[in-house]
DNA sequence: GGAGAATTCCCCACTTTCCCCCACTTGTCC
DNA sequence: GGACAAGTGGGGGAAAGTGGGGAATTCTCC
């Protein structure tokens, strides 16, 4: 399985393309080829799943109880934003307009590895996200990983 | 498993490379090869995990529930700073720019063994860290180890 | 249904960064 | 004091990132 990590600031060109860092491309599973599904992420960003991780996600979604309205709402939201994209010869993906608008991305993007997926943020939106965190990293680690 | 100990002051060259002391390189597990993952440490320093220790860490991270915001906050932070590096033929690792800035490292670095990982500090930052400790070594020992 | 406009996709070329290798200096151990 | 290992520094080549031109496709409006 892929294990994305690291951060990189890239420019989004006039055609709405962003490069995916070579290190992240290198950690793709061969079965994932160059295909991704991008969709709306948690907090104000875009999630980019390689093919294999997305299929796992689809499995989880398919297992939800569709007689619950909350499940339907969740599934509709994640799927209505979803878009399948492939890397071009230069290792870039095109960003769909609705997702760019949702994430507030214009001409710069921050690419962040998040283990099974890649996140694409507008740099300023991300800076604000960091500021808004209640706990610092050390406290967070203690809470999450068990102190 | 590796058991890093000791301290050593090294210079960081113009290309952002630091040597890892030969003694620490010698205590690497063979399975770790020459591969490390460096990431943001606690307090203002860089953590360097050999491959085997990092894989254990990744396993813990992958087990977190990503539908909890606190978990996402933590995972984003630890992974966005993470970078996989390998020793060059001279036993050095390259320091990623963002990590150097975070840790305040410029041209000198203090390498400290910390059992399962190695810590890289800016010498001045580390001196200040020592000064700021409220308890002396003996008191600390009593609190932590249970006197 | 057809023409024009806009968009997408594919490819090529330039620039910059990174990585690998080689050589020198310093330190340590016998 | 000599030999070897450890640490420091820099140059060249390959790869990664950036930008743009042109063909094909789709969309829209008449």
pLDDT tens-digit series, residues A127-145: 999 999 988 999 999 999 8
Question: Which mean pLDDT values do the consecutive 10-residue runs of chain B (147 residues) have?
Answer: 88 92 88 88 95 94 93 95 93 93 93 94 94 87 86
DSSP state of B30: G
Cβ-based interface (< 8 Å): residues of A facing B? 3-7, 23, 42-43, 112-116, 119, 133, 135, 137-138, 140-141, 143-145
Taking an 8 Å cut-off on Cβ atoms, the answer to whether A7 and B40 are in contact is no
Query: Does A51 reside within a domain?
Result: yes
So what's the pLDDT on residue B27? Answer: 85
Q: B46-50 and A92-94 as β-strands: parallel, antiparallel, unpaired?
A: unpaired
> How many angstroms away from the CA of A35 is the closest CA of chain B?
22
Q: Is residue A88 part of a domain?
A: yes
Tell me the pLDDT tens digit for each residue of A83-101.
Answer: 999 998 899 999 988 899 8
In a domain, B44, yes or no: yes
> Taking CB atoms and an 8 Å limit, are B75 and A115 in contact across chains?
yes
Closest residue to B62, CB basis, from A115, A135, A144: A115
CA of B98 to C1' of D12 (A): 27
Flag whether B133 is in a domain: no
Q: How many CB atoms lie within 10 A of CB A124?
A: 13
pLDDT at A147: 64
Q: Which residue has the tokens 């990982």?
A: B117
- Using the CA of A16, which nucleotide's C1' is the nearest one? C8
Protein-proximal nucleotides of chain C (any atom < 7 Å from a CB): 8-13, 18-23
Per-residue tokens: A74:
């969740």
CATH number (domain holding residue B67): 3.40.1550.20
| CA–CA distance, B129 with B135 (Å, rounded to integer) | 12
User: Rounded to whole angstroms, what are the CA distances from B56 to A9, A34, B31, B90?
Assistant: 28, 28, 13, 27
Of B23, B57, A63, A4, the closest CA to residue B49 belongs to B57
SS3 A42: coil
Q: What is the pLDDT of residues A31-61, one digit of tens each?
A: 777 889 999 999 999 999 999 899 999 999 9
Which residues of chain B neighbour A138 with C-beta distances below 8 Å?
A: 42-43
Q: At how many degrees (to 10) do helices B51-62 and B69-80 cross?
A: 160
Number of domains comprising chain A? 1
Domain residues for the domain of B30 are 7-122
Residue A41 counted as domain residue: yes
So what's the pLDDT on residue A140? 93
Measure, in angstroms, how far nucleotide D16 C1' is from residue A92 CA: 12
Of A23, A116, A133, the CB nearest to B73: A133
Mean confidence (pLDDT) of chain A: 91
In a domain, A82, yes or no: yes
Query: What's the pLDDT at B134?
Result: 79
Measure CB to CB from residue B82 to each of A5, A42, A141 and give the nearest one.
A5
What is residue B31's predicted lDDT score, i.e. its pLDDT?
78
Answer whether any strand C atom is within 7 A of the Cβ of A16. Answer: yes
A133 inside domain: no
Within a domain: B1: no
Residue A27 confidence (pLDDT): 83
Q: Which residue has the tokens 């991300």?
A: A126
């Amino acid at each position: 399985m892929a294990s994305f990590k690291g951060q990189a600031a890239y420019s989004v060109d006039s055609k709405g393309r962003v490069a995916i860092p070579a290190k992240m491309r290198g950690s793709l599973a061969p079965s994932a080829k160059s295909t991704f599904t991008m969709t709306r992420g948690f907090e104000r960003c875009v999630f980019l799943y390689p093919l294999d991780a997305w299929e796992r996600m689809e499995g989880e979604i398919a297992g939800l109880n569709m007689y619950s309205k909350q499940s339907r709402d969740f599934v509709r939201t994640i799927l209505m934003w979803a878009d399948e994209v492939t890397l071009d010869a230069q290792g870039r993906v095109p960003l769909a307009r609705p997702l760019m608008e949702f994430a507030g991305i214009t001409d710069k993007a921050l690419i962040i590895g998040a283990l099974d997926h890649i996140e694409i943020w507008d740099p300023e939106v991300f800076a604000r996200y960091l500021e808004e965190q209640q706990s610092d990293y050390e406290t967070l680690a203690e809470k999450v990983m068990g102190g």
